[in-house]
Amino acid sequence: MTNNTIIRFEHVTKQYDDDPPVLKEVSFEIEKGKFYTLLGPSGCGKTTILRLIAGFIEPSSGKVFINEKLVNDVPANKRQVNTVFQDYALFPHLNVFENVAFGLRIKKMKNNEIDRKVREALRFVNLEGYENREIREMSGGQRQRVAIARAIVNEPEVILLDEPLSALDLKLRTEMQYELRELQRRLGITFIFVTHDQEEALAMSDEIFVLNNGIIEQSGTPTDIYDEPINRFVADFIGESNIVPGIMRQDFLVQFTGKTFDCVDGGLNPNEAVEIVIRPEDLEITKPDQGKLRVQVDTQLFRGVHYEISCYDQDGNEWLVHSTKKATVGEEIGLYFDPEAIHVMRHGETEEEFDKRLEAYDEGSNEN
């Protein structure tokens, strides 16, 4: 725990009726002023975490802290947390101003103060001049901004956003990603954003929690998670990856596809069976005898910035390559990669075990 911690989960489990738990002993910390993303496939428990933070539901076991105060049974309206829902949940019969003012009127705030705060919130989301518009006259992106203004007008410490961009078309979605990120920086409020879109998560977040089946598989910055996925699920879910079985011969020496390669990983047992991850953009096309692997090109697609080339090695492993160089379907080529491009993963390793392994290894290598 740091001084900056605003939300803390301690071994939180959530179970509905007699169903298996949808969250299993989840622990994490959220710091003030950062943009967090909960990322994972449908049903993995993302919305459940948001609802526990908002106070709409209580944990079955474990503890939820906000500002180091135990809030398990503190009701939603007593928490300094506001939610922006997927469908925005705006009131269609109220205009923009009244939608944003709604919470303040319930709090019985004075009219002149409401007026000042609502205008300020609308200015923040670039909707000055739209006060009297009806909600049905607003576009999807504008409704989104009204929903955000309605959240920030309450000056919460945390804003929860549950897939708020999923109803927008791709172009608007990209614009809103940029806007939301900018808004979060200007406000300095903690944002916790839920999505199942990995590109969105990578583009927007300071920190990502990758969830799967009720647990956090990995947490870290977008680069941590993209460059060093700790297991097959994360590697598969975040971006595209080549994953093949291998054997760790000794520190910095790994074997796969029948050959031995230098790598930068250590701290595993000699001859331990591992999984090897190499990102498609880390593979370079060479002449057949100049690469580290020899493969045959199976398909090729032009993706605008690069070619997406699928190849097979002699063992039948598929290798996906993103390259600005063009290949020819059917031809033999070589694939070159740097030792740093090889990510070695232990089978079924949890994040905690992975961290411990690296820590123990670092300590060991410092002594030598």
Ligand X SMILES: Nc1ncnc2c1ncn2[C@@H]1O[C@H](COP(=O)(O)OP(=O)(O)OP(=O)(O)O)[C@@H](O)[C@H]1O
**Interface with ligand X (CB under 6 A):** 16, 19, 22, 40, 42-48, 196
- DSSP-based three-state secondary structure for 316: coil
CA distances to 167, 285, 324 from 341, in Å: 37, 14, 18
- CB closer to ligand X out of 85 and 102: 85
Minimum CB distance to ligand X, residue 14 (Å): 8
Tokens of 183: 């808004």
Give me the least distance between CB of 329 and ligand X, in Å please. 38
Q: How is the beta sheet containing 5-14 ordered, strand by strand?
A: 23-31, 5-14, 61-66, 69-70
Q: Which residue is nearest to ligand X (CB)?
A: 47
Least distance (Å) between residue 37 CB and ligand X: 12
From the CB of 44, what's the least distance to ligand X, in Å?
4
316, burial (CB in 10 Å: exposed 0-12, middle 13-18, buried 19+): exposed
Closest distance between ligand X and the C-beta of residue 195, in Å? 8
Q: Pick the closer one to ligand X by CB: 44 or 327.
A: 44
CA pair distance 313, 293, nearest whole angstrom: 7
Shorter beta-carbon distance to ligand X: residue 86 or 317:
86
**Alpha carbons 204 and 86: distance in angstroms, whole number:** 17
Torsion of CA 153, 154, 155, 157, to 10 degrees: -130
In the complex with ligand X, the residue whose CB is nearer, 3 or 42, is 42
Instruction: Provide, rounded to whole angstroms, the least separation between the CB of residue 78 and ligand X.
Output: 22
Nearer residue to ligand X within complex by CB, 180 or 211: 211
* CA-based nearest residue to 84, from 130, 125, 34, 40: 125
Q: Are 52 and 220 in contact (CB under 8 A)?
A: no
Measured from the CB atom, is 84 or 127 closer to ligand X? 84
